[in-house]
Amino acid sequence: MNGDNCDNGEYKVDFDKPIHTPTRKLKVICIGAGASGLLIAYKLQRHFDDFELNVYEKNKDVSGTWYENRYPGCACDVPSHCYTWSFEPKTDWSSTYASAKEIHQYFAGFAKKYQLGRYIKLEHEVIGATWDEAAAQWHVKIRQGTTEILVEDSCHVLLNAGGILNAWKWPAIPGLENYKGTLVHSAAWPEDLDLTGKVVGLIGNGSSGVQILPAIQAEVKELTTFIREPTWIAPPLGEAYQVFTDADKASFAADPEKHLVLRRGIESGINSAFAMFTLADGRQKEIRTAFEDRMRQQLSDPRTAHFQNALIPTWSVGCRRLSPGIDYLKSLSAPNVSVVFGNITHVTSAGCVMSSGEEYPTDVLICATGFDTSLRPRFPVIGRAGVDLREKWKDEPRAYLGFAAAGFPNYLMTLGPNCPIGNGAVLAGIEAQVEYFVKLLSKFQKEMLTTFDVREEAVDDFVEHKDEFMKNTVWTEDCRSWYKGDNIHGKVTALWPGSSLHYIEAVREVRYEDWALTREKRNRFQFLGNGHSTAEKRTGEMAYYIRNSDDSWIDPVLKAKL
Q: Where are the domains of the chain?
A: 26-166+373-519, 176-234+280-315+317-367
Q: What is the pLDDT of residue 549?
A: 80
- Dist. CA 354–CA 332, nearest whole Å: 19
Query: In this structure, which amino acid lies at residue 280?
Result: A
Chain mean pLDDT for the chain: 92
- Dist. CA 42–CA 48, nearest whole Å: 10
Confidence band for 3, pLDDT divided at 50, 70 and 90? very low
Transcribe 467-488 into DSSP letters: HHHHTTBGGGSS--BGGGTSBS
Pick one of 3.90.550.10, 3.40.640.10, 3.50.50.60, 3.40.50.170 as the CATH number of 26-166+373-519: 3.50.50.60
Q: What is the pLDDT of residue 560?
A: 64
- Dist. CA 562–CA 560, nearest whole Å: 6
Q: What is the pLDDT of residue 559?
A: 64
Q: What is the pLDDT of residue 12?
A: 86
Query: In this structure, which amino acid lies at residue 174?
Result: P
- Dist. CA 288–CA 318, nearest whole Å: 10
- pLDDT tens per residue across span 52-61: 999 999 999 9
Mean pLDDT across the stretch 109-126? Answer: 98
Helix (H, G, I), strand (E, B) or coil at 54: strand
Please choose, from the candidates 561, 472, 36, the residue with its C-alpha nearest in 3D space to the C-alpha of residue 274.
Answer: 472
- Compute how many other C-beta atoms are within 10 angstroms of the C-beta atom of residue 474: 20
Mean pLDDT across the stretch 382-396? Answer: 97
- pLDDT tens per residue across span 127-178: 999 999 999 999 999 999 888 899 999 999 999 999 887 788 999 999 999 9
Q: What is the pLDDT of residue 238?
A: 60
| pLDDT of residue 241 exceeding 50 | yes
Please choose, from the candidates 319, 322, 321, 223, the residue with its C-alpha nearest in 3D space to the C-alpha of residue 277.
Answer: 319
Domains 26-166+373-519 and 176-234+280-315+317-367 share a fold: yes
Helix (H, G, I), strand (E, B) or coil at 188: helix
- pLDDT tens per residue across span 377-386: 999 999 999 9
| pLDDT of residue 6 exceeding 50 | no
176-234+280-315+317-367 has CATH 3.50.50.60 classification? yes
Least confident of 32-36, 100-104, 335-339, 524-528: 524-528
Whole-angstrom CA distances from 196 to 192, 222, 415 are 12, 10, 39
Please choose, from the candidates 262, 490, 470, 244, the residue with its C-alpha nearest in 3D space to the C-alpha of residue 375.
Answer: 490
Q: Is 21 exposed, middle or buried (0-12, 13-18, 19+ CB in 10 A)?
A: buried
- Dist. CA 44–CA 46, nearest whole Å: 5
Confidence band for 4, pLDDT divided at 50, 70 and 90? very low
CB 439 within 8 A of CB 431: no
Q: What is the pLDDT of residue 47?
A: 95
Please choose, from the candidates 302, 309, 360, 292, the residue with its C-alpha nearest in 3D space to the C-alpha of residue 332.
Answer: 302
Distance of CA 538 to the CA centre of its chain: 37
Sign of CA dihedral 468, 469, 472, 476: negative
Which of 17 and 64 is assigned the larger pLDDT? 64
| pLDDT of residue 393 exceeding 80 | yes
- pLDDT tens per residue across span 189-240: 999 999 999 999 999 999 899 999 999 999 999 999 999 999 999 876 666 7
What's the N-to-C CA distance of the chain in angstroms? 52
Which of 43 and 235 is assigned the larger pLDDT? 43
- pLDDT tens per residue across span 531-553: 988 888 776 788 888 888 877 76
Q: What is the pLDDT of residue 7?
A: 44
| pLDDT of residue 77 exceeding 90 | no
Q: Which residues pair with 99 in a beta bridge?
A: 75
Q: Which long-range contacts (CB under 8 A, 24 or more apart) does 11-15 make?
A: 11/523, 13/529, 13/530, 14/526, 14/529, 14/530, 15/530
Which of 23 and 81 is assigned the larger pLDDT? 81
Please choose, from the candidates 193, 241, 235, 192, the residue with its C-alpha nearest in 3D space to the C-alpha of residue 210.
Answer: 235
Q: At what angle are helices 246-254 and 256-272 packed, to 10 degrees? A: 100
CB 134 within 8 A of CB 450: no
Q: What is the pLDDT of residue 558?
A: 59
What percentage of the chain has pLDDT greater than the value 70? Answer: 96
